[in-house]
Structure 1
């Protein structure tokens, strides 16, 4: 049996031991609280950025859609010539390839705009039905296709998509394309067709070769001189490229706005969850401190 004088001292010693044992847990709780607070701050900053990018994209979308409508007049008017001549793509002759121009850009954070074009090319190559080379506009599609179709890439352009495309840019690209060494049966332009503000799909525009146009059923009605044919082909290619670049740019801006809107909503949901977790953890810390204070006060009163 212990004396009454020894009992308060033992109780105080036991309290000290339990306090030392609880100290690491309290320190860990404080560290967790600071981590949660830091994550909350980071997510709030991300939310501000995504909301700002959404506003910027919404502002640019109207301008991009206006440029898209103007470019369609160029491309569709140029295609009326081939339509009137009843021009149709010829089957690739033996030993000849097709040249596919992929219209993407250098910018990301816009959903699956660029990856959709890359998947289209990979599916086409996997089918094995056609033999084609690639001209890539923009670094995004180039980076994706270089992993699987590097041997098919004959020309690439960077600095695409910084602003609304112009006909001068399309003309400069067309001038480089027609100078590529190689006998290609046809040129096809792959771009994202604008369906609405939330939908788009990879689409092909035919840029017919000189031989295809000459062999058209109604070619004689145009009375085109032979020395003019190369200029007509390059002009038609530039018109189609301008159309594809402008419409693809509108799809990219629309997709970026939607992506930033979804990112802002996800950030808001994460902020709500972390705020609840922060409040619960903070309440647990306060409760733990109160328990320690009451325990200490009780032990002091018994001594």
Structure 2
């Protein structure tokens, strides 16, 4: 059984943790509104992309085609299962969870934005991991961040038939779900009927493909950032409640032990007085 000194130290430690979690919850709450505004701006880029997707050729889903899977997460933790959700979604898509048919070629290359999902994917799909990015979107993601990622992907030597973005979709302030978006590449744009009807130089299609990819990455980064801030706020709220419950239980245990110690001292004093 813990001594009074041990209980006192543990109670002090839990109270300090409660102060930290409450502070982090307050910071996340103030950042959430800003992140949601950035997400709405990012969705405008996503809507512009969807119009382009409607005019490109619709490919049949073929698991044999090699796709570059871009997993969007971040470098920060303490936000629940926000990073493991996209990692599990990627593993399921590549048929690494067992019992499910892969929807993407298991040999497809993977690019990860953020150190958290990188560490999770590296344990299972290390041979697929070809590109990693960190220090992206440390605050609110910008289009410049997305453009730099798209530029590095275009300049890399990674071979793929198409690109799939895996990120968290913002459902509400308390929920999110992993989703995937397929981004058309330069070849798909060239073969689409809507683009063949116009006379364009090769550089135009190449630049448009890179711009479409940057748009899609920016939209995914902004939405994933909003999900992360919301999840961190909820995680810190739950941690503060758990710390409060633990403080109540430890306080009661400490008071009972203190009362028992005082009672034992009184019994010793009374016993000694009676003996005299």
When the two structures are superposed, what TM-score results if normalisation uses the length of structure 1? 0.85
Match of 2:57 among 87, 93, 113: 87
1:125 equivalent in structure 2: 94
Distance 1:240 1:81 in 2: 11
Q: For 2:136, what is the secondary structure of its paired residue?
A: coil
Q: Residue 218 of structure 1 aligns to a residue in which SS?
A: helix
Displacement of 1:206 in angstroms is 1.6
The offset of 1:179, in angstroms, is 1.5
**Unaligned stretches of 5+ in structure 2?**
96-100
Q: 1:69 and 2:40 equivalent?
A: yes
Structure 2 equivalent of residue 43 of structure 1: 14
1:58 aligned partner = 29
Q: CA RMSD in A?
A: 1.7
Q: How far apart, in 2, do the equivalents of 1:223 and 1:194 lie?
A: 39
Query: Is residue 92–residue 185 contact of structure 1 (8 Å, CA) maintained in 2?
Result: no
Ranges in structure 1 where 5+ consecutive residues have no aligned partner: 1-28
Partners of 2:56 and 2:184 within 8 A in 1 = no
Cα contact 1:78–1:236 (8 A) shared by 2: yes
User: As a proportion of its length, which structure holds more helix?
Assistant: 1
Secondary structure of 2:193's counterpart equals coil
Q: Secondary structure at the match of 1:49?
A: helix
Q: Deviation per CA, 1:27-51, whole angstroms, max 9, x where unpaired?
A: xx8x701111111111110000000
Q: Is the 8 Å Cα contact of residues 92 and 98 (structure 1) preserved in structure 2? A: no
Provide the rounded CA distance (Å) in 1 between the counterparts of 2:34 and 2:248. 35
Moved over 3 A (4+): 89-94, 221-224
1:116 matched to 2:92? The reply is: no
Pick the structure with greater CA Rg: 1
